[in-house]
Structure 1
Amino acid sequence: MGDTFHDQLLEDSRFLKSDRRLDTELVDKLILQLNRIYPQILSDKEATKFRDLDVPTCVRLSELLYHLQGRGEEACREFYRALHLHVEEVYYSLPTRLRLRDDPFSVPLVKSNQRYALNDKGPLFFLGCFSVAVGMAMLYYYGESRVTGGSRALGLVALGLGRTAREVLIWYSEDNISM
């Protein structure tokens, strides 16, 4: 079970070499995609070599996969991206993709020994904290409206307004306090 694109390509290579859906035209599209978009992965000379129609498609594909594995992680990732773009049905039928579909909780491309946990106290702790926060918000909201009639909120709103509007809001909030 590989964690990197390089490991996945090693595992998927046998399937890719035997899949008859990857005909000459599709292999050429993959080679052109890698050559045009990422010439640092596949140079013009290498692309010409892999597009040679005198060599059978299965041999060219095998050599391309071996070449990409030698180029490292970035090249393997870009091959998968090109495969996904041009031959989606083959991409989704790869052994590594099928395994990921069967195991939805696996994180395939992250290599880390660190465990990420937001809170190790559990759901009851969260519910307790949430209940306290909601209770305090309700006390604050309903307690303020009974005592001051909302004058504090009106006073804060008045800060951003012009002089006349501010005087009206302050007068209104003072009028509600005396009621």
Structure 2
Amino acid sequence: MTDTEGYHEQLQSDAQFLCSDQRMDTELVDRLVLQLNRIYPQILEDKEAHRFRNLSVPTKVRLAELLEHLYGKGEEACHEFYHALHIHAEDIYFSLPTRVRKRELADSKWSNYGAIHQERCVINDKGPMFFLSCLSFVAGIAILYYYGEGETLRCTGGFLHCSAARLSKDAKDVLISYVEVGKQK
């Protein structure tokens, strides 16, 4: 299956699987017919919906006729059938042969990509909290630099000495020296 294959071709490929799958029971076929009839009456008119919901005809025969009818209606009808199947029976939808092939194709492309780009460049593996704490520290220093002139800096001296207690030695020295310079002004 190619990436450009449409729903029309997919339905042709999946029809045999759908008709032979035991999970496609009477109730599910009825729900699909009702979905197509109520939401897309241009795809499945009332008269056609009654024909596909006729319980005197075996479910497999009704399903085969429904798929043939939708195939004859074209690409949009096939797309809406797949949409209804996805809504009402996700497990069947994802086990369709075309879906399985598409997943396998995507997995093989991804594994080739992963093998080529297996090594990942990590600049910092400390996480987001480390980044936020560094950003906060730099923002605090910037605020002190721009607004720390004169009287404001003298008031914050004690607070800054206490704040420096948890910092590394170099950061602590810079912060304390900045406070001492501010006090001298």
TM-score interval, smaller chain: 0.5 to 0.7
Alignment of 1:1-179 (within 5 A): 1=1, 3-104=5-106
The CA distance in 2 between the partners of 1:84 and 1:18, in whole Å, is 18
**Alpha-carbon shift at residue 92 of structure 1 (Å):** 0.2
Displacement, 1:105? 7.3
The TM-score with structure 1 as length reference comes to 0.58
- Cα deviations across residues 145-166 of structure 1 (Å, max 9, x unaligned)? xxxxxxxxxxxxxxxxxxxxxx
Q: 2: CA distance between counterparts of 1:38 and 1:92? A: 23
- The Cα of 1:58 is off from its aligned counterpart by 0.0
Distance across 1 between alignment mates of 2:88 and 2:55: 20
Partner of 2:115: none
- Backbone CA RMSD of aligned residues: 2.7
SS of match in other structure, 2:43: coil
Give, in whole Å, the separation in 1 of the partners of 2:74 and 2:22.
26
Q: Deviations over 1:43-76 (max 9, x none)?
A: 0000000000000000000000000000000000
In structure 2, runs of 5+ residues without a counterpart are: 109-185
Secondary structure, aligned partner of 1:15: helix
Percent identity for Structure 1 against Structure 2:
65
Return the letter of the residue paired with 1:41: I
Q: Give the distance between the partners of 1:87 and 1:31, measured in 2 at CA.
A: 13
In structure 1, stretches of 5+ residues that fail to align are 107-179
> Which residue pairs with 1:158 in the alignment?
none
- Could you tell me how far apart the structure 2 residues matched to 1:9 and 1:77 are? 9
Aligned residue type for 2:98:
T
Task: Give, as a single letter, the amino acid of the residue that structure 2 aligns with 1:50.
Answer: F
Write the letter of the residue equivalent to 1:72: G
Structure with greater Cα Rg = 2
Separation in structure 1 between the aligned mates of residue 50 and residue 87 of structure 2, nearest angstrom:
21
Report the equivalent of 2:135: none
